[in-house]
Amino acid sequence: MSQIDGLPPLRDVITRHGIAAKKSLGQNFLLDLNLTAKIARLAGDLTGADVLEIGPGPGGLTRGLLAEGARRVVAIEKDTRCIAALEEIAAIYPGQLQIVNGDALEVDTTALLRPPVKIAANLPYNVGTELLVRWLTPPSWPPFWESLTLMFQREVAQRIVAAPGSKTYGRLAILSQWRTDPAIVLDLPPEAFTPAPKVSSAVVHLRALPAPRYPADPDVLNRVVATAFNQRRKMLRSALKPLGPDTEDRLNHAGIKPTARAEEIDLEGFCALARAYTA
């Protein structure tokens, strides 16, 4: 029995339910419940909040979130093998854990959640970045969530907090820093996971700002930044050509030298450029 909730250790749960880790689903599990409780605490005060958890797997982080006092957890898991294990957790937290067996890229979660909402997840890389971009680029702001507490490969975490001029500066840094204040709050070695991945991981905490730092249309900003960094070594006057005519005029209008490269432009510059493309 574990100290945090009296449920069996996660290794037993995995064996009993036959949840051998599948590479295709990016399954690297956290089995140390003290660690999952620590990650849950990094999400802030959960009492009185609904938590959206993506990819609960056998439920390590889910148990951490509930033990730390989450009002409710809504957990979206694609792997049907995990559902019976998650139902055992739901049984000892009556009415507090809603399990959805589905693909997080397809489930509309907003109808399932009551504000305030916090999002917490330990996700595979490809799904994680896709969801992060979606959470950061809704048409209006503030979004349905207050904060995101997300595990990423360390290299992805560094891209989220990167400053202009650095190798890792790009679309994730700009979209994240435009509407939130991201910070790396925990580093984890590969051995923290079962099976151990090849690379280190990090937890990033992103708190939604009440308003974006500078005005811009999210779709236009996303497109401008993706195009600019698609050919990051090129000068912007040629890198931005795929966006249409008048590239130099728009750059000048935004106060950016047409000979500059994407990695030299700060967030304020990219927002001005997005406005020049919206005009």
Residue 275 contacts ligand SAM per CB under 6 A: no
Alpha helices in 56-124 (DSSP H): 60-67, 83-92
DSSP of 144-172:
S-SEEEEEEEHHHHHHHHPPTTSTT-SHH
Query: Based on CB atoms, which residue is closest to ligand SAM, 24 or 140?
Result: 24
140 DSSP assignment: S
What is the distance, to the nearest Å, from the Cα of residue 94 to the centroid of all Cα atoms in its chain?
A: 28
Q: Which of 37, 46, 51, 56 binds ligand SAM (CB under 6 A)?
A: 56
Q: Which of 5, 32, 79, 146 binds ligand SAM (CB under 6 A)?
A: 79
Rule CB under 6 A: is residue 77 a binding residue for ligand SAM?
yes
From the list 29, 135, 178, 277, which residue makes contact with ligand SAM (rule: CB under 6 A)? 29
Contact between 27 and ligand SAM by CB under 6 A: the answer reads: yes
Does position 64 bind ligand SAM by CB under 6 A?
no
Binding-site member from 54, 172, 173, 202 for ligand SAM (CB under 6 A): 54
Give yes or no for residue 128 binding ligand SAM (CB under 6 A). Answer: no
Relative orientation angle of helices 218-230 and 267-278, to the nearest 10 degrees: 110
Distance between CA 12 and CA 26 in Å, rounded?
21
Interaction between residue 20 and ligand SAM (CB under 6 A): no
- Using CB under 6 A as the binding rule, whether residue 204 contacts ligand SAM is answered as no
* DSSP secondary structure letters along 6-66: SPPPHHHHHHHHT----GGGT--EE--HHHHHHHHHHT---TT-EEEEE--TTSHHHHHHH
- Closest to ligand SAM by CB, 130 vs 181, is 130
- Dmax over Cα atoms in the chain, in whole Å? 67
Residues that bind ligand SAM (CB under 6 A): 25-30, 54-57, 60-61, 76-79, 82, 103-105, 122-124, 127
